[in-house]
Structures are given as structure tokens and as C-alpha cells.
Amino acid sequence: MASHQVLAGFHAVVARLRHAPASIKELYVEASRRDKRMQTFIDQAQAAQVRVHPVSTERLDGLARGIKHQGVVALAEAEKLAVDVDEVLDGLEDKGQPALLLILDGVTDPHNLGACLRTADAAGVHAVIAPRDRAVGLNSTVTRVACGAAEIVPYIMVTNLARTMRQLKERNVWLVGTDDQASGDLYQVDARRSMAWVLGAEGEGMRRLTGETCDQRVAIPMLGSVESLNVSVASAVCLYESVRQRQR
């Protein structure tokens, strides 16, 4: 059991059931729950041919190791995600797909990172990249807020963000940073090419060198009285402009 990954909560387990049910080795549910959500979940697990074990709440608490589990815990094989940028790009080149990446500079709040990962998964992002020195890791809060996306979207932490960005440019990935002082807006971006959206933390924004390394800087139109959006909301706005253009 020690070698297995613990997935807790409906969202995390359902995400794994949908894309890799065979990786789930044990699935436990709260025996006392009989509500519609639980029954729907059990039906979904059984349809995926995953056996369900009803157990006590105390047993689930022990398995979840402090993570909020909502009455659902799975032990699964840890999935192999890409561990570096070249691995991601090599795989996309083999498939003939343009890259869509999200670079986060200075995002240290686990709730923000979790929300960014959830949005990244929904928008089809191939990897999220962050610096080791100014970023939060994949802790239990991030995993819970990400609702299963932390087990699907590669989260690559790099020692030198500017150097990694230059490596991306060498591989023809267009880097677009968000900057409220930029003259153009995000709707002027050609998001159909291989590209990365670069966002900084709310308030401070990107570091100077990060911004200078971008190929293009654009603003998100702000028509009200607030000056900026939360980074997770801003990432959703930008990523779904890529989705819109690529589906057109």
C-alpha cells in the first residue's frame, strides 16, 4: 500500500476512473452513505469494473491521511507524468500537436495553484511550469482544490524559469505574458501556434526578467473598477481564448 498513490474525494477519484480505471487497485467508500451522489459514484466504478469496498469513516480517515475525502478513497498506481519540458514537447511533436503550456511565476497560494491546475486540465494544457524558488508544491490542499487535475496535468518545477523559457523559445514555443500595462490585449494573440501563457501572482505580477523573456505581452481588458483578476481566473480567461481559436 505504501507504494500506491492516495486519491481522496469524489472529483479526484472520478477523474482517475474516467481516464485510467485500471490503475485503481483498491476503492473504499463510506458504508453509511446511501445518498444519490454516492450511488451514482458506485455505479460508475462498477461500470469501470472497479470493485468497491464499503468501510467505516474511521478507516477512510486513516487511508486519506488528513485529506478531506467526502467518503471516497482510492489506492492507485502513481501515474507517470512528464518530468521536464523536453519530454512534453517531444511527445507533442510525435503527435503533430501544437503545445499549449501555462507558466506561473510567483504563485505561492495552494488554492490558486489548485484552481489553475483544474482550469489547465479543462482547457487541454499539456503542462504547467513554475520556478522552484517562488512556487507552492503539490501539497494536499493543491490536490484537493485541483479536483483530480494534479494527477493528470504535469506540474514541472524548474530551477531557472528564464532559462527554461529561452529553451521553449528555441523549440518554437511563443511566450505570451499578461501585463496590465501592455498596449495590446489578449485577443490579438495567435493562440493556434505552439505557445505558453505566462502569468504572475496577483499584485506583484511577473518578475522583470520573466516579463522581458516573453515574446509578446498583452493585457486582459478590465472594464470595471478593480485593477486585476485572481491568477486562476486570469489563467482561465487566457487559456480559453486558446481553446476558442483552436476549435474555430
- Contact assessment for residue 88 and residue 120, using Cβ atoms and an 8 Å cutoff: no
CB neighbours of residue 66 within 10 Å: 9
Closest CA to 67 of 125, 151, 131, 130: 151
Query: Do the annotations mark residue 24 as ligand-binding?
Result: no
86 membership: H or E segment, kind and range: helix 85-95
DSSP state of 47: H
Q: Give the span between the Cα atoms of 129 and 107, in whole angstroms.
A: 11
114 is in an annotated binding site: no
203 is in an annotated binding site: no
How far the first Cα of the chain sits from its last, in Å, is: 46
Q: What are the binding residues for S-adenosyl-L-methionine?
A: 200, 220, 229
Residues of the binding site: 200, 220, 229
